[in-house]
Structure 1
């Protein structure tokens, strides 16, 4: 997250979730879409949106693409770490930036996410802002870091990666919209994901 992002004031107008998805559509050129295409379309300083997108994709039917949950999880962990470190721009290693997926699968995932995004834009508002402002902002950032790091290990455990992706997406939406109430929802989802993972591995 940029300095401007982390220092948002109550009068700053948050970005809409649907608007972020529309920005992602600019990367959908050619038969394949690379991580680099998405990062460049979103802007390297858009930390919270760049955190939200891979999380929402993992929570969508596109999570069925082999290896996608792992790539998204590693990206989430790296972006969250850089948010904690208060970097000005997102950096991802070249081997991740070169990863790509079929354009049609990603387009269908974004289409699938549009109705939930519009719903979130209707129901979210600035509330419990202390949870998405320093010093408490580090809590959802650390949770996103840990959840992203766990995704590659849980990819073969049914539903857990998608649940973790949903939790990270909720946390990222909380940061984008300054709705701290969503942080609590994200925490509940994290607890549910780990409980399900333990049950399935037992």
Structure 2
């Protein structure tokens, strides 16, 4: 009697992808093809993971625009993720994938253990469109050219996306709260900075 292997979890799929990659890694299109059954939540989670790793340079800049594109598609109600060729051909090399896999296991292994379907109405088609619009704002904040500005919104997008995959509305709420707090912090810093500059120049 043949016993079939249990299906891979998302983190296991990411780890396998990092192990199988050649030195040049995989393009975003290839990553999408490997996660085709998992749709928007999985792609956003995978792309957000490099942003969660402190001092992992270049990769967050590679993935931020594709993340925004996917979040906008969610907001528009598109059923399947799609990226234009220029974005889809961007590559994450083997080292970047390995760091992503390690970061995913380190930071989200415990989340995978506790995730379960709850508050599932938040993961339906209608709420998903609203969530997509909010995640787009979080993704945009990753582009702010300041040190460590990718880490907090990266965690927020990853947590909310993982919640969508697992149909865990509580995780989605956690991600949205974290990201909203970060955006509010950035807005406050910007306002205070502008007021300080205006005071210094006497405007």
Which TM-score band applies after superposition, normalised by the shorter structure? Answer: 0.7 to 0.9
Q: Superposition pairs for residues 122-201 of structure 1, below 5 Å?
A: 122-152=113-143, 154=144, 156-198=145-187, 201=190
Q: 1:149, CA displacement in angstroms?
A: 2.9
Once residues 23 and 43 of structure 1 are traced to their aligned partners in structure 2, the CA distance between those partners, rounded to angstroms, is 15
Counterpart residue number, 2:21: 28
Aligned residue pair count: 185
Q: Superposition pairs for residues 7-86 of structure 1, below 5 Å?
A: 16-22=9-15, 24-25=17-18, 28-43=21-36, 46-61=39-54, 64-66=56-58, 68-86=59-77
> Which of residues 116, 119, 123 in structure 1 aligns to 2:110?
119
Asked which structure has the greater RCO (Cα within 8 Å, sep 6+), the reply is 1
TM-score (normalised: structure 2): 0.77
Sort the Cα spacing of 1:166 and 1:86 in 2 relative to 1 into closer, same or farther, 3 A: same
Larger radius of gyration: 2
| Structure 1 stretches lacking a partner, 5+ long | 1-14
CA-atom RMSD, angstroms? 2.6
Q: 1:160, CA displacement in angstroms?
A: 2.3
| Structure 2 stretches lacking a partner, 5+ long | 1-7, 194-203
Sort the Cα spacing of 1:41 and 1:30 in 2 relative to 1 into closer, same or farther, 3 A: farther
SS of the residue 2:150 aligns to:
helix
TM-score (normalised: structure 1): 0.78
Once residues 36 and 27 of structure 1 are traced to their aligned partners in structure 2, the CA distance between those partners, rounded to angstroms, is 16
